[in-house]
Amino acid sequence: MTPYEQMVKFEIGMDMGLLSLEDLRNFLNDALRQADVPYIYTDVFLTLDKGQEAVTDTIFYNLQGNYKADRSSGNTVQLALIGIIRDKYRSGEIDKERCVHFLHCLTNYSDCEWNLLAIDEYYKLNKSGYGSDEEFESKLSEILSKGI
């Protein structure tokens, strides 16, 4: 991922509640130890203590002219966020309901394929007793397997 895609990933992830400022701080602490650090990392790092709104504004300002939003399904940022959701779900950090919630929230940031849009409805139907758990888990695994 480019540095700009990384920052968009954190911006969207924080907006969704999937990632925190602490996650961003940890990422930037590691990234800033490298020899050739992208300016956007330094600029965002310097705003971390000012809160999420300041961080978001800094990311937005730095993206101007450097990043064109790609809302297509399968874009790198979307796939990275699906990967984070998958990892948190598999580790038990989030339950099935939160997993589905985050996948549904992701649809606000991209033009998603039908399966990603429908996972919330599949979950509601499964909770109501329609469809099997195996069928739902199969659909969920299919979506989560696309994450990077």
pLDDT truncated to tens, each residue of the chain (148 aa)?
Answer: 888 889 999 999 999 999 999 999 999 999 999 888 888 999 999 999 999 999 999 998 888 876 666 655 558 888 899 999 999 999 999 998 899 889 988 888 776 666 666 777 777 777 777 777 777 788 888 888 888 8
Taking the CA atoms of residue 39, residue 40, residue 46 and residue 48 in that order, the dihedral angle to the nearest 10 degrees is -160
Q: Report how far residue 118's alpha carbon sits from residue 106's, in angstroms, rounded to the nearest whole number.
A: 12
Q: Report how far residue 33's alpha carbon sits from residue 124's, in angstroms, rounded to the nearest whole number.
A: 45
DSSP secondary structure of 116-148:
HHHHHHHHHHHHTT-S-HHHHHHHHHHHHTT--
Domain extents in the chain: 3-63, 76-144
Q: Report how far residue 20's alpha carbon sits from residue 27's, in angstroms, rounded to the nearest whole number.
A: 11
Q: Report how far residue 85's alpha carbon sits from residue 139's, in angstroms, rounded to the nearest whole number.
A: 15
Largest CA distance in the chain: 55
Q: What is the pLDDT of residue 115?
A: 64
Q: What is the pLDDT of residue 47?
A: 94
Q: What is the pLDDT of residue 125?
A: 76
